[in-house]
Structure 1
Amino acid sequence: MRSLLVAAALTLVACSRPEPPTLTPELAAVTAITAQGIDLRVQIQAYNPNRIDLSTRSLKANVTLDGKYDLGTVTVPAPLKLPSKKWTRLDVPLSVKWQDLTSILALGAQRRGVPYQVNGTVSVGGETLNVDLPFRLAGTITHDELLKAVGSSLPGLPLPGLR
């Protein structure tokens, strides 16, 4: 009888639902600012606490400048194996298009760096677990980076006060 209880307990443990991975956001770095938009690289460490491997499927991110200018949300495929009981780095490039160039001009005229925030989720899925795990990262775009983007957006147009 006792061996039957032990076998039943082991079966329950083996069939239990996996735990979601732990995300540790590391970095959101601007890699390019162009007339079309802003490119970023997002780096996140993910720890899989389970005895089975899991996989990421995609990364969804919303980018905001200066706490008020919403650049929109992008979803990019991010297939990556998360080995059991290990940390794995997700390194995902994002490309967000400008939605309001007037706002970017206004930010460039302020003669300061502009803080940005990336809020998103990493979609993890497999046979027994499907979950979106949240993350948040922040940084600053330098005034020079903004001026370069504004200048390339409006070639030949004099921009008084921006240079």
Structure 2
Amino acid sequence: MEIRATSPAVRSPLLAAAVTLVACSRPEPPTLKPELATVTAVTVQGIDLRVQIQAYNPNSIDLSTRSMKASVLLDGKYDVGTVTALTPLDLPAKKWTRIEAPISVKWQDLTSIAALATQSRGIPYQVSGTVAIGGETLNVDVPFRLAGTITHDQLVTAIGNSLPGLPLPGLR
């Protein structure tokens, strides 16, 4: 007896296997759409930012975020540091969700920051990082990148507060 692939006896198991394979396939990683990184404070200790990202979960199951890791770079060359913030948040299936996280990075080199403040201009910054997303069947770090500018006044105030009573030429 010859069994052909088009016979009902073979098609049913193949169809069942295909459905099972699709149903058990790994979920897709969420899509991140960076929106905004806002400087909320520039202080003696460091720089505080609020990062906002839209996340789309393309899967039919809910996922959740665990944390956000971010590095801050000033003027394209000064590494301010890296910080990890806990961001537990549910990502419902087939929906966009806003992720907001406060990021506080401590200054590593206040001398370089003071040199930037003497330039009488806004200082561009870049926030690069990942959002750790995990569910029962998926754990992945999804990358993001945001940029903005710290105003000259924010830097001058921070440097002035860190060195009280010391006149700093060129800062005002």
Same fold per superposition (TM over 0.5): yes
- Number of residue equivalences: 163
The one-letter amino acid of 1:25's match is P
Could you tell me which of 69, 75, 85 is aligned with 1:66?
A: 75
Q: CA deviation at 1:159?
A: 1.1
Q: Structure 1: how far apart are the matches of 2:15 and 2:147?
A: 49
Q: Structure 1: how far apart are the matches of 2:19 and 2:90?
A: 26
TM-score for both structures, normalised by structure 2: 0.91
Q: After the TM superposition, which parts of structure 1 deviate over 4 Å for at least 4 consecutive aligned residues?
A: none
Could you tell me which of 109, 130, 146 is aligned with 2:139?
A: 130
Q: CA deviation at 1:127?
A: 1.6
Instruction: Name the residue aligned to 1:19.
Output: 28
Instruction: Name the residue aligned to 1:41.
Output: 50
Q: What SS class does the counterpart of residue 116 from structure 2 fall into?
A: helix
* 2:66 is the counterpart of 1:57: yes
Q: Structure 1: how far apart are the matches of 2:61 and 2:130?
A: 22
Q: CA deviation at 1:130?
A: 1.1
Q: Structure 2: how far apart are the matches of 1:55 and 1:11?
A: 25
Q: Structure 1: how far apart are the matches of 2:45 and 2:22?
A: 51
TM-score for both structures, normalised by structure 1: 0.96
Instruction: Name the residue aligned to 2:98.
Output: 89
Q: Identity percentage over the alignment?
A: 78
Q: Structure 1: how far apart are the matches of 2:169 and 2:80?
A: 25
Q: What SS class does the counterpart of residue 46 from structure 1 fall into?
A: strand
Could you tell me which of 103, 113, 123 is aligned with 1:114?
A: 123
Q: Structure 2: how far apart are the matches of 1:108 and 1:65?
A: 12
Kindly provide the CA deviation profile for residues 105-125 of structure 1, in whole angstroms up to 9, marking residues without a partner as x. 100000000000001011111
* 2:165 is the counterpart of 1:151: no
Q: CA deviation at 1:76?
A: 1.0
Q: Which is higher, the Rg of structure 1 or of structure 2?
A: 2
Kindly provide the CA deviation profile for residues 11-52 of structure 1, in whole angstroms up to 9, marking residues without a partner as x. 211111000000000000100111000000000000000000
Q: Structure 2: how far apart are the matches of 1:16 and 1:161?
A: 61
Instruction: Name the residue aligned to 2:6.
Output: none
Q: What SS class does the counterpart of residue 130 from structure 2 fall into?
A: strand
Q: Structure 1: how far apart are the matches of 2:89 and 2:15?
A: 36
Q: CA deviation at 1:156?
A: 1.1
CA RMSD of aligned residues (A): 1.0
Q: What SS class does the counterpart of residue 113 from structure 2 fall into?
A: helix
